[in-house]
Structure 1
Amino acid sequence: MKVTPEITYRHVEKSPVIDNLVHEKIAKLEHFCDYINSCHITIEKIHDRPRSGSPYRVRIDLTVPPGHELVAQRNPGESIQYEPLDAVIRQTFDAMRQQLAKLTQLQRASEKVGRYEEVPENIGFVTKLFRENGYGFLKTLDGREMYFHRNSVLHHEFDRLEIGTGVHFSPEEGKEGPQASTVKIVDKPGVCAGKASTTIIEPPLDW
């Protein structure tokens, strides 16, 4: 990591046990990506005596070249039984690790075929889906957002897409600007993501 991680505690006592856990988890993130250039972690207590759920919230902000911003946050709600601080920290780092692993996997795959420096825009992540209207948006590895239509997804796999799915595509000029065509899934998309008309990526996955 190029810079020292910034760790902020709010209404939480900084204990050696918690501090050691955080640094241990940071080190594990670096196993997936050794070129993280900023890391900010916020650990805070937002409730003194919650009836259920956890009184703690943990947020991790990372930046990874060439300009990706990754955010993971956990704030267990009322439907979850009381979660101690160490458990919330572990959950948050696990969520960040999944994001980081997916990003680095796609970056390395594109490097292997010699395309990362030449045409990084050909690989991206799905960031918004409007299922009932049949379209969505993706972000390229260099941070640009592009529109795509259901008919542009190969093998009739539009309904298999979900937020964060990695895709390869061909850029083209549309009526309202650049858009993606020939969209092909390049990682495991998982199951069909529900029937909601709009699924919009939250800041934790904003590439």
Structure 2
Amino acid sequence: MQIPLQIAFHRAEKSEWAEQEIRDRVDKLYAYYDRITGVRVTVDQRAGNVERTLPPVVRIEISLPGKAPLVVAYEPDRLQQKFQNPDLGNAINDAFAIAERQLARLSEERQGRSKAGQHDSQNQFLGHVAQLFPEEDHGFLLTKEGGSLYFHRNAMLQGDFDKLQVGDEVRYVEEIGDTGPLATKVRVVAARRE
């Protein structure tokens, strides 16, 4: 790394374990992409509520030669949909998992091996519709790991978004979007029976 690692805590209490965890996870990023020139990590407690249950946002900015910086950041509600009681540990783990997947994809592209060449059936997962927001054209799938994954109306390849119901079984491909993982190529396998 040409630029030293920068870690900042904004409106969040600085902790030794969190700083060490961030340093360890940054070291692991090089296994995914060895041309990283700098990393800046910000832990920001942007929002708060009375119960103080909103997790902080972990923002990672990775400098790469000849490319725009790779940035991973999202709002706290993403963690609240994914975990029952999200904390700083969940926020760090989730943000770095997204960064690792994006760097792995960049590395594959750099080496001329893109996942796009693989058949979709190798990358499909089974899930269930967990939440629907038809007025906003999106919903969330429940993954086999028990996590929540965003999908948009336009991600539907088979089936009608307007006829979807909570509980419907679907197949999907997980990809990395601008704000993290999301479901694409969603196909209805079995509609929930009333």
In structure 2, the partner of 1:90 is 93
Give the letter aligned to residue 202 of structure 1.
D
In structure 2, the partner of 1:102 is 105
Distance 2:35 2:100 in 1: 14
What is the CA deviation profile of residues 44-86 of structure 1, one whole-angstrom value per residue up to 9, with x for unaligned ones? 1123436696331111111222214311124331544221101
Q: CA shift at 1:42, angstroms?
A: 1.1
2:73 corresponds to 1:73: yes
* TM norm structure 2: 0.56
Cα-Cα RMSD: 3.2
**1:84–1:203 distance in 2 versus 1, CA, 3 Å:** closer
Equivalenced residues, count: 132
2:30 corresponds to 1:30: yes
In structure 1, the partner of 2:190 is none
In structure 2, the partner of 1:196 is 153
User: Equivalent pairs: percent with the same residue?
Assistant: 20
Where structure 2 has 5 or more consecutive residues not aligned to the other structure, the ranges are: 126-149, 156-176, 182-194
What is the CA deviation profile of residues 154-204 of structure 1, one whole-angstrom value per residue up to 9, with x for unaligned ones? xxxxxxxxxxxx47xxxxxxxxxxxxxxxxx32565459966348xx5366
Secondary structure of 1:27's counterpart equals helix
Where structure 1 has 5 or more consecutive residues not aligned to the other structure, the ranges are: 111-165, 168-184
Most deviating of 30-39 and 189-198: 189-198
Distance 2:67 2:57 in 1: 26
* TM norm structure 1: 0.53
Distance 1:87 1:45 in 2: 14
